[in-house]
Amino acid sequence: MNHLYAPATVWDTYHAAQVTVDVELNPQGWWVPSLLPFLVTAQVQKVLDVGCGTGGDAVTLAQKGYHVTGMDYSNIALARARAKAAAAGVVVDFRHGDMALSFPFVDDAFDAVLSNVALHMFDDQTTRRIVGEMRRVVRPGGLLLLHVNSTEDMPYRSQRLGRLRVQELEPNFYREANGQTIHFFSEDYCRDVLADWATTWLCIAMSEAHLLLPIPTILLAPVKWSVTMLPVVSMVR
């Protein structure tokens, strides 16, 4: 089937290249510290990590006692994630799945859904469908926690990653030279996509703490992620 968004092969290639050089985007739960206060306040126990990649956040949350399910459609990422959970001695339910399709979970199955740097890969229609599925599987009063690329990142991304935007597929949605698709979210777009949720906080300051993390691409970046990322927390119903 022809999708507007990058197929799993693009992400398998990405993750395989990282295996080759023994690096990971997010080895150790990079985003967890910024999420924890929200998880604690909402008395979250069961968490779904959508686009969990190599499981850094999922395993870290499991180590803190959360019941975590992680979903990704790269089998290479999932293999690393499962190995990481085994090495850490924790149980995480890692599932293979395309988030653009129906989620394989019943309604209200989770207290919180999180998705870090993974929801911003899709065209508008698909993005809204995914957010709808996220809403369906979160219980009343549960949370959605996101980090998405903001429109502020557009001038910097190709400079930082060396990936050119080669095709504009929709406004603020591009296919890049390596086949990856990327959707830059404006604040207005974020609020529009999340209009059905009871409350939405755009927590720009939330990612300040990540600036000093030892991830080479970030340290070399000429911009602050507090500007280029849009951390979002929404509460359902």
Ligand X SMILES: C[S@@+](CC[C@H](N)C(=O)[O-])C[C@H]1O[C@@H](n2cnc3c(N)ncnc32)[C@H](O)[C@@H]1O
Q: Contact positions toward ligand X, by CB under 6 A?
A: 11, 25-26, 51-53, 56-57, 72-74, 77, 98-100, 116-118, 121
Cβ atoms 151, 125 nearer than 8 A: no
Residue with the closest Cβ to ligand X?
53
Q: Which is nearer to ligand X, 43 or 217 (CB)?
A: 217
Distance CA 53, CA 64 (A): 19
**Cβ 98 to ligand X shortest distance, Å:** 4
CB within 8 Å of 12: residues ≥ 6 apart: 74, 75, 76
CB of 69 to ligand X, least distance (A): 13
Q: How far is the CB of 117 from ligand X (least distance, A)?
A: 4
Instruction: Please name which of 80, 74, 38 lies closest in space to residue 55, comparing C-alpha atoms.
Output: 80
Nearer to ligand X, 205 or 213 (CB): 213
Question: Could you tell me the smallest distance in angstroms from the CB atom of residue 140 to ligand X?
Answer: 25
Nearer to ligand X by Cβ, of 83 and 198: the residue is 83
- Residues 156 and 218: their CA atoms lie apart, in Å, by 12
Choose between 33 and 141: whose C-beta lies nearer to ligand X: 33
What distance in Å separates the CA atoms of residue 19 and residue 36, rounded to the nearest whole number?
A: 29
